[in-house]
Structure 1
Amino acid sequence: MKTSSQVRALGHPTGRPEGNLLVSPATTPPGSWPVLAAQLFNERMLDSTNLFPCVFGVDAVRKETLRYAFIPNGSQRVPVLAEALRQFTDIAESLGRRTSLVCFFEFDPRLDSMEKHREHFWSLLRDVSATDMATWPEDISQDFDDPTWEYSYNSTPMFVVANTPYHVDRRSRYFEYFAITFQPRFVFDDLKGGTATGDNARKVIRDRLAKYDTAERTPLLGSFGEAGNKEWEQYFLSDDNEPNPPGARCPIAHAKISEPTS
């Protein structure tokens, strides 16, 4: 937990940007680039000829239980992302079982490679965590390498997915804008391995992934709580299936508060 002075030091002077930052899939967001980002995302999720692998995400767009947030460049990037997460986690359970927050980021010419997106992604998660004044969820480990660790904000554990314009073969992780999706842990409560619902959902998603992605299924994908599983390794996937080096640690543990470098 951080003190208020530490939060202000991160560019979060009052703790919260003003106004509601969340937009439903059927709502037109303000500004030209947010309109385009939302349109491209909706079209991709609802494409009937090129089926997106995550059937629950598609269903959430149709039912309007997803929420979008649009994150600007500059000094407000971290405070706006943090506030969007706070607003979403406050209402997530009321939106229904299948919900997520999709955060679209304004184009930044400094992020001109996959690796720069990766570095910025981890820095953002670390920087946002530093603004979190809530207690850590009791049932979530604080050990990054424990199979029951998950990224958490406002006492809400969430699986995180990064999309970039530089994903080519792993098309399920491609998007025209840099985007981060936060999926509350409760979304998966009825999809556990070993259950009929969970096993069927995994089969459908994996079958779709095999058709959607050119890249082979990554061995990093696992199930929360299973021995050997590391959630953080699944957040930002590369196009290849190269394993992490032995002893690799979650970048949140040592990421620095930073802006993208030119």
Structure 2
Amino acid sequence: MMDKNSLGVLTNQFSLEENYNRSECNNHKSWVLDAYEDFISVLHNKAFPCLFGRNALKKKSLIFLFVSEEERLHDLKLGVTQYINFVKNVPVEQRLYSPLIIIFENSNLKNIKKEHTFCWEQLQTIHDLDTESWPSNIPLNPENNNWTFCFGGIELFVNMSCPSHKKMKSRNLGRHITFIINPRGNFDIIAGVNDKRGIEVRNKIRERIKLYNDGIVPNELGFYGEGNSKEWKQYQLNEPNSLFASKCPLSLKS
């Protein structure tokens, strides 16, 4: 049976699969199974471009947070805080392939503009819930190419994926809005920009993105800290020929 605490607390992939039983899941939680099935089916596709995600799927090391509409604030605060505690207390080698997958129950927004607005509102909420000071080594200005989102003093990369993405298929993970959150330092280990192999891995993923998206590669994709690359622009990728926000929607506190 799906654990009764699978809403609002962290649930690892192994436990989800071990306890997976739709016939014993009540209607209130059926959206959780729908969302989980959607997400897993996308990553099972051999063409899905993110090699890190597919490796994590194989290792059964993904960590999930299912955010209910009724308890959204509670779920986000508890789940993200628990994940950051996990990051701080588990050696990096043991959590490289354990991103936080946040899946939101709300799936009625119907267009990409509303979905993106919802995404930034949730990221703003997460920021507002942070009780720790912003890290002194990270600028507060998102237009600085050394900026990255932080929570609990940990640098994070946030992938916002939405159901209304049609051409940007790599950012569509099913019928529910989904965040994939990784400690940014993980990328420096797996695919560092100063490492020949790391650059090769990143370039391979971008080629896979191009194939998966039928030739579309977002101009916003870049390397952290380099040139005009902006992290916030990589969190939310737009459909081709759509207008991009002129500035980061977040209002940051120190």
Q: Shift of the alpha carbon at 1:21? A: 0.7
Q: Is 36-45 or 55-64 further displaced after alignment?
A: 36-45
Q: Shift of the alpha carbon at 1:33? A: 1.2
Q: Is 136-145 or 97-106 further displaced after alignment?
A: 136-145
Q: Note the 1:20-59 alignment, pairs <5 A.
A: 21-28=9-16, 31-48=29-46, 51-59=47-55
1:77-113 CA-to-partner distances (Å, cap 9, x unmatched) read 123112211111111252422221011111342x121
CA distance in 2, matches of 1:164, 1:243: 17
Residues 1:85 and 2:83 aligned together: no
Q: Shift of the alpha carbon at 1:241? A: 5.0
Q: For residue 42 of structure 2, give the secondary structure of its aligned residue in structure 1.
A: helix
Q: Which has the higher helix share?
A: 2
Structure 2: 5+ residue runs without aligned partners? none
Structure 1: 5+ residue runs without aligned partners? 1-16, 255-262
Amino acid at match of 2:124: R
Q: For residue 14 of structure 2, give the secondary structure of its aligned residue in structure 1.
A: coil
Q: For residue 102 of structure 2, give the secondary structure of its aligned residue in structure 1.
A: strand
Q: For residue 208 of structure 2, give the secondary structure of its aligned residue in structure 1.
A: helix
**Correspondence for 1:147:** 145
Q: Note the 1:2-13 alignment, pairs <5 A.
A: none
Q: Shift of the alpha carbon at 1:243? A: 6.1
Q: Note the 1:61-72 alignment, pairs <5 A.
A: 61-72=57-68
Q: Shift of the alpha carbon at 1:20? A: 7.0
Aligned residues: 232
Residue 115 and residue 20 in structure 1: after superposition, are their counterparts in 2 closer, same or farther (change >3 A)?
A: closer
CA distance in 2, matches of 1:228, 1:203: 18
Q: Shift of the alpha carbon at 1:170? A: 0.7
Residues 1:103 and 2:102 aligned together: yes
CA distance in 1, matches of 2:13, 2:57: 6
CA distance in 2, matches of 1:193, 1:186: 11
Q: For residue 70 of structure 1, give the secondary structure of its aligned residue in structure 2.
A: strand
Q: Shift of the alpha carbon at 1:43? A: 2.1
Q: Is 205-214 or 185-194 further displaced after alignment?
A: 185-194
Given that residues 8 and 75 in structure 2 are in contact (C-alpha distance below 8 angstroms), is that contact kept between their aligned partners in structure 1? Answer: no
Q: Note the 1:190-229 alignment, pairs <5 A.
A: 190=189, 191-214=191-214, 216-229=216-229
Question: TM-score scaled to structure 2, two decimals?
Answer: 0.84
Q: For residue 197 of structure 2, give the secondary structure of its aligned residue in structure 1.
A: helix
**Correspondence for 1:184:** 183
CA distance in 1, matches of 2:159, 2:122: 13
CA RMSD of aligned residues (A): 2.2
